[in-house]
Structure 1
Amino acid sequence: MQKIMIVEDDPKIAEHLQSYIEKYGYVAVKVAAFDRVIDEFHKTKPDLVLLDINLPSYDGYYWCRQIRKESICPVIFISARIGEMDQIMALENGGDDFITKPFHPEIVLAKIRSQLRRAYGEYASKVEERILEIENLRLYPERMELSFGGNTAALSKKETDTIEVLMERYPRVAGREDLLEKLWDEHVYVDENTLNVNITRVRKKMESIGIKGAIETVRGAGYRLSVTWSEEDEG
């Protein structure tokens, strides 16, 4: 059975989450030592983490960064913070999704299922590795890696999905709805700014391997992959 690690310092909320998640056949493990979350992560080896932001000792952003140093395990933030900047910070620090308190347990479960499916479902079952390539830019979806000019960048699941949509649509525009549908099953709950943040993260990853100006914003439509950088960077 797949294992969910719950990092929530409110015992009532943690108990409620654990009871509901286990009701649907998952193993749910509550973290008790909030100053040793990464140790609990190593011990539990979860398939997904539910992570509060306001925690004793260090906040959830810090612990998400520690997890990201060694794992691409999906991380869903759950927090009473409702500001746009809090959601941006969650994504910038490696989170895959964000749920605000108070929450409906059905939404939490739906997002858990969505992240597990995307991280371990249809992609994990493929035997032959897929490689998407445009002008020496290569995406390895199953590895979640992007390479160009001898440089390689590790990607999060959402970064991988974003680049995959852009490459599959090239040279056409990838509409915002196309991206939202690929990235979030429940995109009706997703703020428009959340997609913008994800695009910004992808641009930074591309810059880290030597590509600038790779994603063009098409006002009122979406985004388009540009390959005008290829000759300049290869030269």
Structure 2
Amino acid sequence: MFKIFLIEDDASLFKEIKERLTAWEYEVYGVRDFQKVMESFAEVQPDLVIIDIQLPKYDGFHWCRMIREHSNVPIIFLSSRDHPTDMVMSMNLGADDFVQKPFHFEVLIAKIQAILRRVYNYSTAAPDLKTWMGATIDLERNRISNDDGMIELTKNEIFILKLLVERKNKIVSREELINLLWDDQRFISDNTLTVNVNRLRKKLAEIGLGAGIETKVGQGYMAIER
């Protein structure tokens, strides 16, 4: 049974989400003290985190940063604000998905199921290591390393890199990446993929591999290796 950590201060919404997710046989945990979110996170050790943006004391972006300092657990943001920058910022901080309030519960559960299926089924089935451009990709630990250093990647980033490297020097379409990452592209903004790829490139640049992923305008992306 998967454990979900729900960081939501609206008591009625928390109750509704918990009841719905419990009916799907998820274990749902909340926050007792919004000044001690990380203490609750460490106690629960969740498989997935759902964070509202507007929270007491510190906003959801703050807690996402804090979680990412310690864990690559999948994160979904909730927001009642109609600001496109909220989605971009959440993805830049390492979130895996974004849900706009008010939302249909079926959309939320579809996103949760897709992320859990991808993250936990993939991690047990994939081989541990791959090599690319003189670097070693550790699929189990979500990191890539070479002589210039080692960087940690989120689940989405390592999955994108894996897909591109498996078909290096060949174009992988945006549509295929979206379908493989999120299962149902009806609920995904095209910009979500762009943000994830740009974030991956920025990290790869730290070890001299930023130019290893090329954008093919109007087609998709390609991991190069010569």
Q: TM-score with structure 1 length normalisation?
A: 0.91
Q: Partners in 2 of 1:139 and 1:81 — Cα distance?
A: 37
- Measured in 2, the distance between the counterparts of 1:166 and 1:122 equals 15
CA RMSD of aligned residues (A): 1.5
Residue 224 (structure 1) shift:
1.4
Asked if 1:115 corresponds to 2:115, the answer is: yes
Q: CA deviation at 1:125?
A: 5.0
What is the CA deviation profile of residues 54-74 of structure 1, one whole-angstrom value per residue up to 9, with x for unaligned ones? 011111011011111111111
- State the one-letter code of the partner of 2:136: R
Distance in 1, Cα, partners of 2:191 & 2:162: 20
* Matching residue of 1:85: 85
SS in 2 for 1:34: coil
- How far residue 123 of structure 1 moved from its aligned partner, in angstroms, is 2.0
Which residues of 2 match residues 173-184 of structure 1 at below 5 A?
173-184=171-182
The answer to whether the 8 Å contact 1:34/1:56 transfers is yes
The structural deviation recorded for 1:138 is 2.3
* Alpha-carbon distance in 2 for matches of 1:135, 1:3: 37
User: Aligned to 1:56, what secondary structure does the other structure show?
Assistant: coil
Question: Offset at 1:147?
Answer: 1.6
| 1:219-230 pair list within 5 angstroms | 219-227=217-225
2: CA distance, partners of 1:190 / 1:155: 21
Residue identity in the other structure for 2:193: L
Q: Which amino acid aligns with 2:120?
A: Y
Correspondence list, 1:83-232, <5 A: 83-125=83-125, 129-227=127-225
Aligned length: 226
TM-score under structure 2 length normalisation: 0.94
Does structure 1 retain, via aligned residues, the 8 Å contact 2:168–2:225? no
Q: Which amino acid aligns with 1:114?
A: A
Instruction: Give 1:166 shift.
Output: 1.2
Structure 2 partner of 1:233: none
Of residues 144-153 and 68-77 in structure 1, the stretch that sits farther from structure 2 once superposed is 144-153
**Aligned counterpart, 2:39:** 39
Q: 1:125 to 1:199 in 2, by over 3 A?
A: closer
Distance apart, 1:150 and its partner CA: 4.7
Deviation at 1:116, TM superposition (A): 1.5
AA partner of residue 38 (structure 1) = M
Equivalent position SS for 2:123: coil
| Secondary structure at the counterpart of residue 63 of structure 1 | helix
SS of residue in 2 equivalent to 1:41? helix
- 2:125 & 2:157 partners in 1: Cα distance? 20
Is this contact kept in 2: 1:148–1:209, CA < 8 A? yes
| C-alpha distance in 1 between matches for 2:104 and 2:62 | 26
Structure 1 Cα separation of the partners of residues 223 and 154 of structure 2: 19
SS of residue paired to 2:211: coil
* Counterpart amino acid of residue 205 in structure 1: K
Amino acid aligned to 1:40: S
What is the one-letter code of the residue matched to 1:130? D
Aligned equivalents of 2:205, 2:133: Cα separation in 1: 16
Q: For residue 119 of structure 1, report the CA deviation from its aligned partner.
A: 2.1
- One-letter amino acid matched to 2:32: A
Are the equivalent residues in 2 in contact too, given 1:161–1:182 (CA < 8 A)?
no
Is 1:148–1:210's contact at 8 Å kept on the other side of the alignment? no
- The answer on whether the counterparts of 1:162 and 1:179 sit within 8 Å (CA) in structure 2 is yes
Distance 1:108 1:165 in 2: 25
